[in-house]
Structure 1
């Protein structure tokens, strides 16, 4: 049985409605596993993730001519020259995607660990104030404070061997384990070893969520 003129007309119109890809493809994601903070000589895997059916991936280290046409880069032992900014993209047919967000791969343990202290002390009443101080003997001008369980650090710039991270009106959400790192703005991806952990104990019943520090410092220059 031959298709009717109406069916043929519909087929032509429907095919005409199939959208053509215009412009670059959506950007992929790039992550470091298990973490983008990598102790020297420890392994890390960089993984670029795009949509199903990608023809080609490209993963590159910025500020260098180094790249590979693969979705996964396994680094068996972290070295200082591997630290830096990475990004990736992918190709389908003749179209390239937008590049992924940049990933900052940091080598830790390059320098001696700083010390971390709480002023006036690591036990504070809910609603009170406390300042966490990261101090180094290396004379670095950049510091990063991490709270265990938080995805991103709090960063600060100081000139006198230490940085202060004030927490105003603390709540139970500030309780936890903190560590800090120190490094130089001239080599922003080569960090010290982490400080010894500091356990901050907030007494009281307040559970209002709050971020640390009260006024987030500027990010690391890079």
Structure 2
């Protein structure tokens, strides 16, 4: 009995020392839209083959009802992640087409001040200016029929193609204006460097996905470690229960042995008393 209790006690101590209580943190997910965050009215989002750690939520056709701000979260085991950064999904081609112009002209020298002017024949209350290949956070100005977007002093980083939109709210826009390409030539001493080729939003996101999937793999490995810890906790609990049962059984066995010993002692005392009484008689 003693050797069994010792072995179980050692096992329980070993398991308790291997259990860790590290807090698990899930990485924040990323949400994006394809083909872009701006979808013309009635157009469909393309269906794609599923990838690991990526969930597809298909919108059959864009309308003002499906436009709006979106966030996503995910769950691993019983733990929920924090929500992603918000994504503003915009439906376009709802209003007339604005016109976009640039002053002093589409070809300027670095260091000059440049202004884009967006004009819409029908009155609106907000205008957006977008540069192709940039993150989906366009500049905006409030106005009635025309607004100015001042930019400058410009550098070669401002090279690119621009469009503007009119809107009555943040998620329902007009047709896009005709593109205006801004050319910025370097001045003497201007050493600023910037990419001039167009890069789509999906290219930026695909680069981020490599890091994001690596983070998900780390989360999965972390959860494997958590599962192992949980198994150790369960085993330690079972060992503790077994130890308590054995201790209780040992206590009961000792109690019964003591009771038997006390009973035998009482019988012996009574036997001796009767024998002594007979002798006296």
Q: Would the TM-score normalized by the shorter structure come out above 0.5? A: yes
Corresponding residue for residue 37 of structure 1: 38
Q: Shift in Å at residue 207 of structure 1?
A: 4.4
Corresponding residue for residue 13 of structure 1: 17
- CA RMSD, aligned part only? 3.2
Distance 1:165 1:20, change over 3 A: closer
Corresponding residue for residue 61 of structure 1: none
Q: Shift in Å at residue 200 of structure 1?
A: 0.9
Q: Is the 8 A contact 1:32 1:45 kept in 2?
A: no
Equivalent of 1:80 in 54, 59, 64: 64
The secondary structure found in structure 2 opposite 1:12 is helix
Q: Shift in Å at residue 32 of structure 1?
A: 1.0
Q: Is the 8 A contact 1:147 1:153 kept in 2?
A: no
Corresponding residue for residue 176 of structure 2: 194
Distance 1:105 1:94, change over 3 A: same
Superposition TM-score, scaled by structure 2 size: 0.57
Inter-partner Cα distance in structure 1 for 2:130 and 2:151: 14
Unaligned runs of 5+ in 1: 55-70, 211-222
Equivalent of 1:178 in 162, 176, 179: 162
Q: Is the 8 A contact 2:131 2:160 kept in 1?
A: yes
Q: Shift in Å at residue 195 of structure 1?
A: 0.6
Inter-partner Cα distance in structure 1 for 2:150 and 2:21: 56
Inter-partner Cα distance in structure 2 for 1:156 and 1:20: 42
Distance 1:161 1:28, change over 3 A: same
Distance 1:191 1:95, change over 3 A: same
The answer to whether the aligner puts 1:104 opposite 2:105 as a matched pair is: no
Q: Shift in Å at residue 127 of structure 1?
A: 1.5
Distance 1:46 1:192, change over 3 A: farther
Indicate the structure with greater helix content. Answer: 2
The secondary structure found in structure 2 opposite 1:89 is coil
Comparing 173-182 with 85-94, greater Cα deviation is found at 85-94
The answer to whether the aligner puts 1:125 opposite 2:109 as a matched pair is: yes
Unaligned runs of 5+ in 2: 195-281
Superposition TM-score, scaled by structure 1 size: 0.71
Inter-partner Cα distance in structure 2 for 1:183 and 1:83: 13
Determine which structure has greater relative contact order: mean sequence separation of CA pairs < 8 Å that are 6+ residues apart, divided by chain length: 2
Q: How many pairs were matched up? A: 185
Indicate the structure with greater strand content. Answer: 1
Distance 1:99 1:72, change over 3 A: same
Inter-partner Cα distance in structure 2 for 1:45 and 1:147: 23
Deviations 1:1-27 (A, max 9, x none): x98977763432112x14355xx8554
